[in-house]
Structure 1
Amino acid sequence: MIKLDITMPRLFAEGASELQVQLDLETGSLTALVGPSGSGKTTLLRLLAGLETPGTGHIEVNETIWLDKSQGINRTPQQRSIGYVFQDTGLFPNMTVRENIQYAAPAGREALVDELIEATGLEPFVNQKPVRLSGGQRQRVALARALVRRPQLLLLDEPFAALDEVASQMLRQMLRQLHQNWGTTTILVSHHEVDVQALADRVVRLVQGRIQSDERIVDRGSDSSIRELITRIDYDEARQQWVIETTTTQVYSSNPVWANWRVGDSIRIDSSLK
């Protein structure tokens, strides 16, 4: 579980105000941060990564305190278990694909480097330097480099923004598979609905530094999906599955993330489940 409660003065397009966010993120979840440009999405990622410091706040990751202003605790970025993928990738131009990934790997993780190169389809390019790669290939290198330390939190800041549709689709499929296999808690910043619908199980919308909406998603890939409130949630021991009921639907899942949902949460479900 990641617990975040921060307040930070900030200048928004509408004028000076505060970025004020309180969130609990379930381990293994993939949360999309959406909202207009300048609403505080990237700033929130930078605060989690330790690249900026709020005026007041508390960040706790799996019961380890990364930040507590009242106690004078503020772990450096190097002390936080973070993987960060930027829009511009930030690869070292003088290093090959393998060298870029190895640079971030802890000692003795050669097997993990090889596993990620295979998982991201980068085997044909291991000896190439970034200038020889396409935008989608560079983002795959950046993602492998971010994951090679097995971070507790993966931060993705508009990773699809500079890619064409074909490259974006390939990267989304790869990211979804890696997230499912590795179970890393992930936060994705995106302006594109297709990225959010394809990947996220929760969507948090920021407007001028405040949470405007917070939506859980059960089903992604259908235009027939609708939004309903949870009326009951229980664990069925016989099925070994969670059971969620709304006013019209009952759905089951063994996904451990469901243990953190509560009555009254908003979820998106596919009408074909009714």
Structure 2
Amino acid sequence: MIDLTVTVPRLFTEGPGSLQLAMRLPSESLTAIIGPSGSGKTTLLRLLAGLETPDQGRIVVDGSVWFDQQQRINLTPQQRSIGYVFQDTALFPNLTVRDNIAYATQRTQRTQVDELIEAAGLTSFADTKPTRLSGGQRQRVALARALVRKPKLLLLDEPFSALDTDATDQLRQLLLALHRAWGTTTVLVSHHEADVNALADRVITLSQGKIIADQDRQHGPAVPPSSGQIRRVWFDEPQQQWVIETDTVQLRSTDTRWGKLVVGARIDLSWH
């Protein structure tokens, strides 16, 4: 069980404010954190990882206190049992797949390295260096490396954002299989409803550093709001897509008509 109550000042898109969160995540759950850019999603992951420190609050994981402002407890990232997968895989280019996964493991954990290499479909690439791998293969290595020490908490920050559709589908299946097999508690930040629909058993929506929706998907599909007010519209040049953000979700499309939409207008948020 993860119990988190934190407060930290933040500059949001609409101006200064405070990220104020209180949540309880069951062990072995997979929770998706969604919301518009700047709502506090990545900050939440960094607070859990110990990469940022709240002004106030408490973080307890399976009975172990990782942070308590009143008791002046603040474990370092190295002291916290976490695995972290970033948008950028951050692999060591001079190390092979096997050595990247085995990095910082103890001798007694080497069997787990072999298990993960096989489970991630990387056996034939075990002695290959990252520069010779595809984007999807590199993310498989990053995921295996994050899991090799059997962390209590797996943190994923947009792990599929740079992948094509096929690689994304394959990595989603791998993530779900490893999450279940290794019994981790997983927190996934994503802008894409396809990730949420395929993976999450719980969906928490952030806006301006606060929880505005908390949906349990284990007892039926989440029902998103039918419409929302547009907060931001822009064109993503690298992806050649129009992007619309509301308080709860980011939508993307190649439909040129989206370029005529304006901030403040309401849009249908039905997920397809």
1:182 Cα offset (Å): 1.3
Equivalent residue, structure 1, for 2:139: 139
Kept after mapping to 1: 8 A contact 2:216/2:222: no
TM-score, normalized by length of structure 1? 0.80
Equivalent residue, structure 2, for 1:166: 166
Equivalent residue, structure 1, for 2:31: 31
Considering only aligned residues, what root-mean-square deviation do their CA atoms show, in Å?
Answer: 1.3
Equivalent residue, structure 2, for 1:62: 62
Amino acid aligned to 2:149: R
The secondary structure found in structure 2 opposite 1:24 is strand
Kindly provide the CA deviation profile for residues 125-177 of structure 1, in whole angstroms up to 9, marking residues without a partner as x: 11111110100000000000000010000000000000000000000001111
Q: Give the Cα separation in 2 of the matches to 1:7 and 1:156.
A: 22
Equivalent residue, structure 2, for 1:6: 6
CA 1:219 to 1:195, structure 2 compared with 1: closer, same or farther past 3 Å? farther
Kept after mapping to 1: 8 A contact 2:6/2:56: yes
Q: Give the Cα separation in 2 of the matches to 1:76 and 1:115.
A: 28
Amino acid aligned to 1:2: I
Equivalent residue, structure 1, for 2:123: 123
Kept after mapping to 1: 8 A contact 2:215/2:222: no
Amino acid aligned to 2:161: A
Q: Give the Cα separation in 2 of the matches to 1:86 and 1:105.
A: 19
The secondary structure found in structure 1 opposite 2:103 is helix
Equivalent residue, structure 1, for 2:107: 107
Q: Give the Cα separation in 2 of the matches to 1:81 and 1:174.
A: 21
The secondary structure found in structure 2 opposite 1:98 is helix
Equivalent residue, structure 1, for 2:151: 151
Amino acid aligned to 1:45: L
Equivalent residue, structure 2, for 1:73: 73
Q: Aligned pair count?
A: 224
Equivalent residue, structure 2, for 1:86: 86
Equivalent residue, structure 2, for 1:234: none
Q: Give the Cα separation in 2 of the matches to 1:14 and 1:226.
A: 28
The secondary structure found in structure 2 opposite 1:159 is coil
The secondary structure found in structure 2 opposite 1:108 is helix
1:104 Cα offset (Å): 3.1
Equivalent residue, structure 1, for 2:212: 212
Q: Give the Cα separation in 2 of the matches to 1:205 and 1:227.
A: 12
Equivalent residue, structure 1, for 2:43: 43
Amino acid aligned to 1:42: T
1:218 Cα offset (Å): 2.3
Gaps spanning 5+ residues in structure 1: where?
229-274
Gaps spanning 5+ residues in structure 2: where?
225-272
Kept after mapping to 2: 8 A contact 1:104/1:145: no
1:227 Cα offset (Å): 4.4
TM-score, normalized by length of structure 2? 0.80
Deviation beyond 2 Å, 4+ runs, structure 1: 225-228
